[in-house]
Amino acid sequence: MARQLLKSGTSIGANIKNAQDGQSKKDFLSKMNIALKEAKETVYRVTLLSKSWHLGWYLKHKEIIQQANEIVWVLIKIVRTTKENLKKTP
């Protein structure tokens, strides 16, 4: 489970970086959607780990979940705005 969390958590930033270097707005949107899915998966995995106490007493899992959710909401806004802008473009 920890390995999957590491993969999804680090994939968010990698996909955002790839989106910034995208070849088109559609490419940007596609990569941001992948980052969003990875962020949601990360929230899910941290929640599972926190409920099973695998994160241990030393980690503040509620703060981690809150920060991950904030990333999700930022990515949702980016994806929505990009979709709206693509609809306006001929």
Q: Which domains does the chain have, with CATH numbers?
A: 2-88 (1.20.1440.60)
Higher pLDDT residue, 22 or 82? 82
Write down the pLDDT at residue 26.
93
Q: Please say if the pLDDT value at position 60 is more than 50.
A: yes
**Mean predicted confidence (pLDDT) in 71-86:** 96
**Mean predicted confidence (pLDDT) in 43-49:** 85
68 burial class (0-12, 13-18, 19+ CB within 10 angstroms)? Answer: buried
Query: Please, are residues 12 and 35 in contact by the beta-carbon 8 Å criterion?
Result: yes
Query: Angle formed by the axes of helices 25-51 and 61-88, to 10°?
Result: 160
Write down the pLDDT at residue 46.
85
Distance between CA atoms of residues 42 and 69, nearest Å: 9
Q: Please say if the pLDDT value at position 58 is more than 50.
A: no
Residue 43: both structure tokens together:
């929230």
